[in-house]
């Protein structure tokens, strides 16, 4: 089984959508290995999204993701990375399938409710960014 990282973004978390989103994730066959809530600093957020540094959306993304509480979640499932990307839907909630997480809970491209790892390699890096070995339950 693969692992992937999901981040419930500040607006979705602050609007109390976490429970509904977790239900959708579990209904799609994912197992939650670990979950934590935190508020990232701008420095932490900038480091996490450093792959996007220099892109036009980088600074607004750092501002948004450090503006409130997020939920970091390690998910497990066969084909977890690809299946979670499908469940998330398009970055733009208006283009996302209505049953997807972004289609149901996103507002805009920048406030799209959820982040998910885009590859198995990045999933491993992103999980390690948020979770120490002893915080993962297999």
> Which of 7, 115, 123, 127 is flagged as catalytic?
115
**Residue 113, phi then psi, degrees to nearest 5:** 80, -30
Residue 115 is a catalytic residue? yes
Going from the C-alpha of 115 to that of each of 12, 59, 74, the distances in angstroms are 11, 16, 12
- Output helix, strand, coil percentages for the chain, rounded to the nearest 5: 45, 20, 35
The residues, ordered by sequence, that sit 6+ positions from 24 with a Cβ below 8 Å of its Cβ are 87, 101, 104
Strands (E), the chain: 2-8, 31-38, 70-77, 114-116
Q: H-helix or E-strand containing 26?
A: helix 18-27
Q: How far apart are CA 21 and CA 29, in angstroms?
A: 13
- Any idea which residues carry the catalytic annotation? 115
């Amino acid at each position: 089984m693969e692992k992937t990282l999901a981040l419930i973004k500040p607006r979705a978390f602050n609007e109390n959508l976490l429970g509904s989103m977790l239900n959708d994730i579990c209904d799609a066959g994912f197992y939650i290995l670990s979950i934590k809530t935190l508020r990232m600093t701008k420095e932490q957020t900038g480091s996490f999204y450093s792959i996007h540094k220099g892109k036009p959306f980088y600074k607004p993304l750092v501002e948004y993701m450090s503006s409130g509480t997020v939920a970091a979640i390690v998910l497990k499932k066969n084909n977890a990375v690809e299946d979670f990307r499908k469940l998330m839907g398009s970055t733009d909630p208006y283009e996302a399938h209505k049953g997807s997480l972004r289609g149901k809970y996103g507002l805009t491209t920048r406030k799209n409710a959820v982040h998910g790892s885009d590859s198995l390699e990045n999933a491993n890096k992103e999980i390690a960014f948020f979770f120490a070995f002893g915080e993962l339950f297999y």
